[in-house]
Amino acid sequence: MCSTKHKNKEETTFADWRHETINGGSLKHVSLETGSNGWASPPGDLFSLRSRNYLTKKNKSPSGPYLLQPAGVDWLRSTSKLDHVLSRADNRVINALRKYDAKKTFILAVNLQVPGRDHHSAVFYFATDEPVQPGSLLYRFINGDDAFRNQRFKIVNRIVKGPWIVKATVGNYSACLLGKALNCYYYNGPNYMEIDVDIGSSKIATAILKLALGCVTAVTIDMGFVVEAQEEEDLPERLFGAVRVCQMEMSSATFVDSVSTNVMACKGVVAGGHGNRVQASELHDDDDDDDDDDDDM
């Protein structure tokens, strides 16, 4: 009986914490089908990933449910690039974890750093209150070194709505190993991992981004994040999370000071923080011998 009560309390804490973080960002949580200037969670089945027999037959299949649950989005603006946002004293997601004393919760955040006169960051948070299965591909990614991570960290994009020039440039469906194509930096804290993706580290990615931002209010895009399976025992692939960004307005970003006291780092509890500082000369396709739905970004 005590065990059941304890479990129910943990589930309530996780639900309360996620409710606050999902609904508390400057980019609002909106309807999947009709929402605008916000974000939603697209079904995993919309993404085609490597199936169980991919290595022999190159077949793909729908991803299915995410490995982690969506826990909010931040759209931030600053005078300089925002690194390691989960270590900031003003990070609302970490503060919500403390508020609800959600000690068992683990966060995996992806911080897409957008260059420009004002620097922007789109930060996607995914969470679980269950231990990540030891030995699993996601577990090895979280606890591995940067060389392993750079070979595996992949984004899968779907243009849901947008002008023809965006679809023609990006492709209706594309996949890219971000760890190879862009400078990625990995930060591990006591209950989180953050991946910072420096879009400005690639001239090609920056050019595509400028095109997309020019008509961003007319674009709806699904972005799925996955650890690429390269061995048979890791198949089929599963998204660890995905977000639909719906016709976003640049002006909706929350301004944050680029200088913030790194409270957790000052206390010495942040581990890791290594980055891939080798700039790629071009963006890479998901697979050299893959089918046509994996276009260059």
- Indicate the pTM of the whole model: 0.86
> Please, where are the H alpha helices in 24-163?
54-57, 92-99, 137-143, 146-152
- Report the distance separating Cα 198 and Cα 277, nearest Å: 10
- Report the distance separating Cα 222 and Cα 245, nearest Å: 6
Range of the domain at 259: 2-275
Q: Is residue 283 part of a domain?
A: no
**pLDDT tens digits, 2-48:** 455 555 666 677 889 999 999 999 899 999 999 999 999 999 999 99
Q: Is residue 284 part of a domain?
A: no
- Report the distance separating Cα 254 and Cα 252, nearest Å: 7
Amino acid at 129: D
Instruction: Please tell me which residue, 135 or 173, carries the higher pLDDT value.
Output: 135
Q: Give the Cβ contact number of residue 80 at 10 Å.
A: 10
Q: Is residue 137 part of a domain?
A: yes
Q: What's the pLDDT score for residue 288? A: 41
Looking at the structure of the chain, the number of domains it has is 1
Q: Is residue 86 part of a domain?
A: yes
Q: 44, 65 in Cβ contact below 8 A?
A: yes
Read off the pLDDT of each residue in 189-215 and give the average, rounded to a whole number: 86
